[in-house]
Structure 1
Amino acid sequence: MKKIILFADPGIDDSIAIMYALLNPEIEVLAIVSSYGNVDKEQATENIAYLLELADRTDVHIIGGTNAPLSGEIPKFYPEIHGQEGLGPIRPPEDLSFELTNFSKIYDIIENNKDVTIVDVGRNTSLASLFLLGENLTDAVQEFYIMGGAFMVPGNVTPSAEANFYGDPTASHLVMTNFDNLYIVPLNVSNKAIVTMEHILAILEMTNHPLVQIMDEVMKYYIDAYKKLVPGIEGAPLHDVVTLSLMVNPDMGRTIRREVEVLTSGEGKGTSIADFRVSSTPSEKNSNIYLEVDYEMFLKDFMKVMSSAGK
């Protein structure tokens, strides 16, 4: 079983990833770190609390992360993709009750649990801050799974940059260059993890779990948004879910061990760079980029986890 601390900024894709993590018997969620990204930190926190309440998992720590990138720039949000509140048409109840735990709690959790995996599916600001404020972080954490970057495919914010790395390239560059046991899931892999409304409706026929029951409204909004962005697409890619699925099922994908650099300014801001030439050498540290994913294997895993909820 993987014990994880999940960094997220829900956002629809992050929300489905949180559902997947909470429902997967191979994952123990120790805490969720709430940060800005798809929505502001306050809304992201409320969304996390709402999902934990639906899952009856209020035992999971909600930890307050960062509000803005290391540069101090005002972050840009994406209501056209995720909705004003980050859950498409759904709004968390106004009387939602939860406790936001101090950021320093992350160090306690790492110290008290062996073999913790950190998964960051949002902007990397909070994770970079964790490194800057602490000591020997990469020695204490078993591995890091990061959803971000784009290699040999276009970006989704600029011609070359993916949204998470573009949102705080300074933080992403720090993580890429200082962390060990790093597994990066970029757009060239996550774009392939497409889920359709037919898949969602099939899941809903197999479970009445309260957490899963909101997926139809949420995913319809997300898929409709993607159909406007990518004409001809039949569903929407679950970038963050496939990151968790690869963590649990590493044989589902193929990796290459390479150093990664993230450009922090100029026209190439947020662009991720690695040397894939035949003459290039593997990274000295354990830095791995996913290049391929078995889509059928991913879909089978996603359907199984989500449809078995409450059984």
Structure 2
Amino acid sequence: MTTTPQKAAPRRIILDCDPGCDDAAAILLAAGSPDVELLALTTVAGNQTIEKVTSNALRVLRVAGITDLPVAMGARRPLIRPAIEAAPEIHGETGLGGLTQEELPEADIALDPRPAAQLIVDVVMREPAGTVTLVPTGPLTNIALAARLEPRIVSRVKEVVLMGGACREGNATACAEFNVENDPEAAHIVFEEPWKVTMIGLDLTYQARANAAVRERIRAVGTKPAELLSRILDDYAENYRVWRGFDAPPLHDPCAVACVIDPTLITLRPAPIHVELKGALTTGMTVADLRRPVKGECHTIAGLGIDVDRFWDLMIDAVKRL
């Protein structure tokens, strides 16, 4: 007698984000994948102000058809440093390219009254240990606050899969990636805690380029989520062309969600990773030691490559399902 292999249970995640064009794509991927169960969504200032990114999260959730998800507003500035400027040159004045509130109303979801860090703590402490993955795709302020608010979550979280950092060059500065440079002290806390941290950084995300052919595949799906993603990516592509000279924009944040859905998409390498806090030219740099294979246990892992074709198949399948 043959037995049918049992399908693995969906990965249970809290998505902490700052929408942002690529965060919007990450929300759609998480919402549309049968391999992910979205437990909560929290927001943090980064690509735009906390008010705008929270509104954007609700707007994307509406298109995804999600009406019953706990959503909490989080940190409006870094732990210690002054708030840095948002990135309208890449993400537009609203954060979703050229889309306006009138074109894309918010979902009918009441914000959870708890601050984001408290919601994160409550969900992790409520669920069985080792079952919740944190997926931050913006500055790491909320995650650091949660770890300090309730240190027990560090041993209960399955892992942290974050979009941020880089093993080589940055984008906010020559050495630092935007999310980490935005709040390096928070990033330092997250990387130094003994939970498993997988860094999906620029070395990997620069490979996931939304070129014209990819955007046409998404447009051809024809669903409202696909139409939203197509519109956002067209604006995103033009902004990247003008401001960075890229012929196709990298879609950073969904790469972290994709890693949770299917880690076989990603080339992963254990490596000690630390955040530079004091360098005159290197503050916010994620210093990854790739000189030799790691011997023994290492709780930090660098993502170095991605199967681009399979990544886009995941993304397009998600917007078809929604």
CA distance in 2, matches of 1:13, 1:175: 22
TM-score of the aligned structures, taking structure 1 as reference length: 0.92
2:211 maps to 196
Q: Give the superposition deviation at 1:283.
A: 6.7
1:126 maps to 142
Runs of at least 5 residues in structure 2 that lack an aligned partner in the other structure? 1-9
Q: Give the superposition deviation at 1:211.
A: 2.5
Which secondary structure does the structure 2 equivalent of 1:119 belong to? strand
Equivalent of 1:276 in 290, 308, 314: 290
Matched, 1:169 2:184: yes
Are the structure 2 counterparts of residues 159 and 228 from structure 1 closer, same or farther at C-alpha, using a change threshold of 3 Å?
same
2:249 maps to 236
Matched, 1:304 2:320: no
Q: Give the superposition deviation at 1:58.
A: 1.5
Contact 1:197–1:219 (CA<8 Å) still a contact in 2? no
Q: CA RMSD in A?
A: 1.8
Q: Aligned runs of 1:116-265 on 2, under 5 Å?
A: 116-152=132-168, 154-208=169-223, 210-231=224-245, 233-265=246-278
Output one character per residue of 1:11-68: Cα deviation in whole Å (capped at 9) or x when no partner.
1111111111111111111111111000011111101111112222111111121010
Output one character per residue of 1:236-291: Cα deviation in whole Å (capped at 9) or x when no partner.
1111011111111111122221221111132111111022113x634744221112
Which secondary structure does the structure 2 equivalent of 1:302 belong to? helix
1:64 maps to 73
Contact 1:259–1:282 (CA<8 Å) still a contact in 2? no
Contact 2:211–2:248 (CA<8 Å) still a contact in 1? yes
CA distance in 2, matches of 1:219, 1:47: 15
Are the structure 2 counterparts of residues 56 and 79 from structure 1 closer, same or farther at C-alpha, using a change threshold of 3 Å?
same
The percent of aligned pairs where both chains have the same amino acid is 27
Output one character per residue of 1:210-242: Cα deviation in whole Å (capped at 9) or x when no partner.
2322222211110011112443x4321111011
Q: Give the superposition deviation at 1:300.
A: 2.4
CA distance in 2, matches of 1:111, 1:263: 31
CA distance in 1, matches of 2:204, 2:29: 18
1:111 maps to 125
CA distance in 1, matches of 2:41, 2:263: 22
The one-letter code of the counterpart of 2:98 is P
CA distance in 1, matches of 2:20, 2:221: 25
Contact 2:40–2:69 (CA<8 Å) still a contact in 1? yes
TM-score of the aligned structures, taking structure 2 as reference length: 0.89
Runs of at least 5 residues in structure 1 that lack an aligned partner in the other structure? none
Equivalent of 1:79 in 88, 110, 123: 88
CA distance in 2, matches of 1:125, 1:73: 13
Which secondary structure does the structure 2 equivalent of 1:3 belong to? strand
The one-letter code of the counterpart of 1:65 is G
Which secondary structure does the structure 2 equivalent of 1:53 belong to? helix
Q: Give the superposition deviation at 1:95.
A: 6.9
